[in-house]
């Protein structure tokens, strides 16, 4: 029996979650055994998922109804600060690291939104996924909108903003799950604001669920029970780890699916130019790099302060005070008078402009050099440049980690933890990320003739230099 390949066909199949038969005995490596154990102990994973859901909902909801922490409050005695530290100090930076090292295990084993959207989908309307929802630009649009909006309402600092941004995303995940799919994660596959980021980072992971196509086809008649693959993957043809949630439900299926090691970045190194996606390249260059750098940078940028002050002076000289008002509601712009933290309309416009300009300038710089590199290679220059853009995944991923860990550092400093070694560690991580990207580019260009390769790598190096300079501004120059 052939496996269906269309998403709607995959969704129509009844795939009971607990009835996953175990594969026949086979000589197994430790990783294989781990993958098989994930399938065997599915109930345990479900228990962990629901514990995370309860913990997550408590940290998202309760602090929003508590007063803001006073002076002397600490993560050890204040739930709001504890939630802030858990979300932005630990959760986010280390989800990035986990995805780089273990693939999307966060999505498949721990993510509360994934758990809730799948449950809603199991008891919902079961409608097929409409075409508009499959638009390839959603991961880019959702990431950029969430990142920018999060800055406008100061999501890193205030629990009401957390409830709005994270809670809103969770409600949307449940609603999408309720309407579409049958026990599937339509939200995760198409709309989750970070699924595009995780899909790119997972391509570097040194472990993945490998599918042996020959074994799969040969065993077709002996393994009739389908696997409950929540993100709607066509396992038989799966070659990439980017969309796999590493849930382990398919481990050992038809004796063909195995949790296996691979060289970090091997998937990207072996990617063909024709397989590169335009939206993935845009998400990487203008989203994960351009927008994220702007979002992490604006609050420490002297340029932001100088330009905003100049504009404010210019407005005052002309008796124009409308943009200097601070009467925007908290759900539109940061508004916490009790913490002396209130955005004027000018602040809001300034943040939007700074992030937008950074995304545009940095993204265009990188795109320019990637286009040059693409033109040096045989074939379609535009498609080549999208393909080479994938070499930026290590720098993009570790850049986001560095940006998020800056929050960890700020929160730890507030707790009295001093880290004198921080500049050296940041420098080493930045250098490692830049060299990893260059090395990945070199591996991708292996089959290209020597001189073309050298010039294309030079162009990639110039693009990487622009990204590194942006981080150096924030960590060393300002």
Q: Is 110 in the site for ligand SF4 (CB under 6 A)?
A: no
- Tell me the per-residue interface mask from 202 to 241 with ligand SF4, x by CB under 6 A, - otherwise: -------x-----------------x-x-x-x-x--x---
DSSP assignment letter at 448: S
Q: Please report which residue ranges of 123-157 form alpha helices under DSSP H.
A: 138-152
Query: Does 250 help bind ligand SF4 (rule: CB under 6 A)?
Result: yes
Rounded least distance, CB 298 to ligand SF4, Å: 37
38: Cβ–Cβ under 8 A, 6 or more apart, which residues? 45, 109, 247, 248, 249, 251, 259
Residue 64: CB minimum distance to ligand SF4, A: 33
The bridge status of strand 335-336 relative to strand 341-342 is antiparallel
CA-closest candidate to residue 375, choices 448, 447, 268, 279? 448
CA proximity to 192, closest of 252, 112, 307 = 112
- Choose, by CB under 6 A, the member of 160, 236, 245, 254 that binds ligand SF4: 245
Q: Which stretch binds ligand SF4 (CB under 6 A): 242-250, 314-322, 339-347, 408-416?
A: 242-250
- Torsions phi, psi of 56, nearest 5? -60, -50
Compute the least distance from the CB of residue 31 to ligand SF4, in Å: 13
**Binder of ligand SF4 out of 109, 244, 351, 373 (CB under 6 A):** 244
Nearer to ligand SF4, 238 or 268 (CB): 238
Q: Does 111 bind ligand SF4 (CB under 6 A)?
A: no
Contacting range for ligand SF4; rule: CB under 6 A; set: 87-95, 163-171, 248-256, 369-377: 248-256
Binding mask of the shown chain, residues 364 to 403, with x at each position contacting ligand SF4 by CB under 6 A: ----------------------------------------
Q: Please choose, from the candidates 20, 3, 1, the residue with its C-alpha nearest in 3D space to the C-alpha of residue 12.
A: 3
Nearer to ligand SF4, 26 or 310 (CB): 26
Residue 11 binds to ligand SF4 (criterion: CB under 6 A)? no
The residue range among 85-93, 243-251, 408-416, 455-463 that interacts with ligand SF4, by the rule CB under 6 A, is 243-251
Nearer to ligand SF4, 157 or 234 (CB): 234
Please name the residue ranges forming H helices in 301-449. Answer: 302-317, 345-376, 381-389, 393-414, 422-444
Q: Which of 126, 105, 128, 120 lies closest to 172, judged by CA?
A: 120
CB of 246 to ligand SF4, least distance (A): 5
Burial pattern 263-281, b for ≥16 Cβ within 10 A else e, equals ebbbbbbebebeebbebbb
Closer residue to ligand SF4 in complex, CB, 83/229: 229
What part of residues 152-211 is at the interface with ligand SF4 (CB under 6 A)? 209
Q: How far apart are CA 293 and CA 320, in angstroms?
A: 32
Tally of CA atoms within 13 A in the half-sphere of 41 that contains its CB: 11
DSSP-assigned beta bridge partners for residue 342: 335
What is the smallest separation between the CB atom of 231 and ligand SF4, expressed in angstroms? 5
Task: Please report, as ranges, the residues that interact with ligand SF4 according to CB under 6 A.
Answer: 108, 209, 227, 229, 231, 233, 235, 238, 244-250
């Amino acid at each position: 029996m052939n496996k269906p390949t269309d998403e709607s066909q995959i969704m129509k199949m009844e795939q009971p979650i607990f009835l996953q038969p175990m594969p026949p005995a086979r000589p197994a490596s430790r990783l294989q055994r781990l993958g098989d154990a994930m399938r065997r102990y599915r109930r345990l994973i479900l228990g962990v998922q629901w514990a995370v859901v309860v913990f997550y909902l408590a940290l998202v909801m309760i602090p929003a109804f508590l007063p803001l922490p006073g002076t002397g409050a600490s993560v050890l005695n204040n739930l709001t600060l504890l939630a802030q530290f858990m979300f932005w100090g630990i959760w986010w930076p280390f989800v990035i690291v986990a995805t780089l090292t273990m693939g999307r295990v966060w999505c498949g084993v721990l993510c509360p939104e994934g758990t809730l959207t799948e449950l809603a989908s199991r008891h919902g309307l079961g409608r097929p996924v409409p075409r508009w929802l499959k638009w390839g630009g959603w991961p880019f649009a959702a990431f950029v909108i969430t990142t920018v909006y999060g800055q406008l309402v100061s999501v890193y600092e205030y629990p009401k903003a957390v409830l709005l941004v994270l809670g809103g995303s969770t409600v949307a995940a449940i609603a999408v799950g309720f309407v579409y799919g049958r026990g599937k994660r339509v939200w995760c596959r198409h709309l989750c604001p970070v699924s595009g980021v995780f899909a790119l980072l997972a391509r570097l992971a040194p472990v993945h669920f490998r599918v042996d196509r020959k074994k799969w086809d040969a065993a077709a008649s002996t393994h009739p029970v389908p696997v409950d693959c929540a993100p709607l993957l066509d396992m038989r043809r799966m070659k990439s780890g980017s969309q796999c949630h590493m849930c382990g439900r398919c481990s050992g299926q038809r004796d063909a699916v195995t949790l296996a090691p691979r060289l970090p970045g091997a998937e990207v190194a072996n990617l063909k130019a024709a397989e590169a996606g335009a939206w993935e390249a845009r998400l990487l260059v203008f989203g994960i790099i351009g927008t994220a750098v702007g979002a992490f940078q604006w609050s420490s940028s002297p340029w932001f302060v100088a330009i905003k002050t100049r504009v404010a002076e210019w407005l005052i000289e002309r008796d124009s005070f409308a943009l200097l008002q601070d009467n925007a509601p908290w759900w539109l712009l940061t508004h916490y008078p009790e913490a002396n933290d209130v955005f004027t309309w000018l602040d809001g416009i300034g943040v939007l402009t700074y992030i937008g300009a950074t995304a545009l300038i940095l993204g265009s710089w990188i795109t320019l050099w990637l286009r040059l590199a693409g033109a040096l290679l045989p074939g379609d220059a535009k498609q080549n440049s999208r393909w080479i853009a994938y070499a930026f995944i290590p720098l993009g991923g570790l850049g986001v980690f560095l940006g998020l860990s800056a929050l960890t550092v700020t929160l730890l400093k507030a707790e009295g933890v001093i880290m004198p070694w921080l500049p050296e560690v940041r420098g080493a991580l930045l250098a490692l990320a830049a060299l990893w990207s260059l090395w990945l580019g070199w591996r991708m260009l292996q089959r290209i003739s020597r001189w073309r390769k050298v010039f294309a790598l030079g162009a990639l190096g110039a693009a990487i230099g622009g990204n590194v300079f942006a981080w150096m501004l924030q960590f060393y120059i300002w």
